[in-house]
Amino acid sequence: MRSARGQRARQRRIIIAILGLLVLAVVIASLCLGQTNYSPAQVWQVILGHKVPGASFTVGTLRLPRTAIALVAGLSFGLAGVSFQTLLRNPLASPDVIGISTGASAAAAFAIVILSLSGTVVSVFAIVAGLLIATLIYLLSYKGGAAGTRLILVGIGVAAMLESLISWVLTQAGQWDLQEATRWLTGSLNGSTWAETLPALIALGILGPLLLSQTRYLDSLQMGDDTAAAMGTRVERTRILVIMAAVGLISFATAATGPIAFVAFLSGPIASRLIGARGSKLIPAALIGALLVLVADFAGQYLLGTRFPVGVITGVLGAPYLIYLIIRTNRAGGSL
C-alpha cells in the first residue's frame, strides 16, 4: 500500500511538472509568435527592459500584459472552480454555472450602460457584486448547512435572474456603451494593461495560498460532512473560508478579463481525468485553467482566420461538455 501511494504521488508530480512546462511553452509562444515573430532572445531583452526596435512596443506593451493577465486569470479560474467542485462534490458546482461570474458581469454591464462608468470603477463594481451574489446564494441555500445540491439550484436560479438583468441593461445601451459592455461580457483580453493585471495578481498571491492551505480539509469534505467532522474538520468554517476565497479569485479575475466562459467549469474535470480520483486537484486544475486561457486566446487571435474573444473560444469548448454532463447525470438517474 505504501508503495502504491508513493507511485501515485510520483505520477502526480510528473503530471504537474508536464503541465507547468506546457504552460511555460505556451507563454513563450504567445510572446514570440503573432503577425510579427520575434526570437526568444529578443523577447528576453524586452523583459529585461532593453530597447529592441519593434519588439519593445509589440512585446512589451501589447503581448506581455495580455499574456500575464491570461496566465493569472487562468490560474485563478482553475483554482476557484475546482475548489467549488471539490467542496460541493459536484462538477456542476462551478462559479460560472451557479451565478457568481454572472453577478460580476451584470454589475459591470450596469455600471457601463446605466451609470456611464468606465475603467477601474467598473472593475470595483464587478468585484463587489461577485462577493455579494455569492453571499446571497449561500444564505438562500443555507438550512442547517449549505447542501451542495441546494446551493447549485439556488445559484442557477439567481444566474437566470441576472441574465435577464443583463438583457434589459443591453436594451438601454447606446451604440458605444453596447460595444464596450458586449466586449466585457464575452470575456476578452483585448487592451489588457498592467493596471488591470496587478489587482488580480495580488488576489491570486493572497487567496491562492489560502485555498491551498485548505487542501486536507477539502479532501476530507469529499467523504461527507459527518465523516469530515469526525476527522477533525471544522466543516462550516472550512466551507465559508473556501467559498469566500474562491469567490474573491473569481471576482478579481472577472474584473480584469470579463467572464471567460467555462474555464472554471472544465479545469477540475480535466484534472480528475489526469490524476485520478485520489490526491488534491487544486494545483493541476490551476495549471489547466492557465493552459486553457492561453491556448484559447492564441487560437482566437491567430489560428481561425478572424479574431475572436477568448471567451468565445472557451464557450465553444465548454458548452458541449456541460450538455454531456447533464445528459450523463440524467441517464444515470442521479441528481445535480
Confidence of residue 220 (pLDDT cuts 50, 70, 90): confident
Residue of 8 and 132 predicted with greater confidence = 132
Question: What integer pLDDT is reported at residue 278 of this predicted model?
Answer: 66
Confidence of residue 331 (pLDDT cuts 50, 70, 90): low
> Would you call 118 helix, strand, or coil by DSSP?
coil
Reported pTM: 0.89
Count CA atoms closer than 13 A to 82's CA, side-chain side. 31
Give dist(CA 88, CA 100) in Å, integer: 15
Average pLDDT over residues 222-234: 76
8 A C-beta contact, residue 131 and residue 247: yes
Question: What integer pLDDT is reported at residue 335 of this predicted model?
Answer: 46
> Would you call 145 helix, strand, or coil by DSSP?
coil
Instruction: Kindly tell me if the per-residue pLDDT of 298 is higher than 60.
Output: yes
DSSP 69-87: HHHHHHHHHHHHHHHHHHH
Average pLDDT over residues 64-85: 94
Identify the bridge partners of residue 142 per DSSP, sorted by sequence position: 146
Distances (CA, A) of 163 to 135, 186, 218, 240, 258: 18, 13, 31, 26, 15
Q: 13-17, 90-94, 110-114, 145-149 — which is least confidently predicted? A: 145-149
Instruction: Kindly tell me if the per-residue pLDDT of 334 is higher than 60.
Output: no
8 A C-beta contact, residue 213 and residue 182: no
Question: Which one-letter amino acid corresponds to residue 30?
Answer: S
The H or E element containing residue 206 is helix 194-212
Give dist(CA 94, CA 62) in Å, integer: 31
Q: How many residues does the chain have?
A: 336
261 burial level (CB within 10 Å; 0-12, 13-18, 19+): buried
Question: What integer pLDDT is reported at residue 147 of this predicted model?
Answer: 59
Instruction: Kindly tell me if the per-residue pLDDT of 336 is higher than 50.
Output: no
Residue of 18 and 228 predicted with greater confidence = 18
Confidence of residue 288 (pLDDT cuts 50, 70, 90): very high
Determine the angle formed by the axes of helices 64-88 and 235-257, rounding to 10 degrees. Answer: 150
Work out the mean pLDDT of the chain and round it to a whole number: 86
* CATH class, range 2-91+174-331: mainly alpha
Question: What integer pLDDT is reported at residue 146 of this predicted model?
Answer: 57
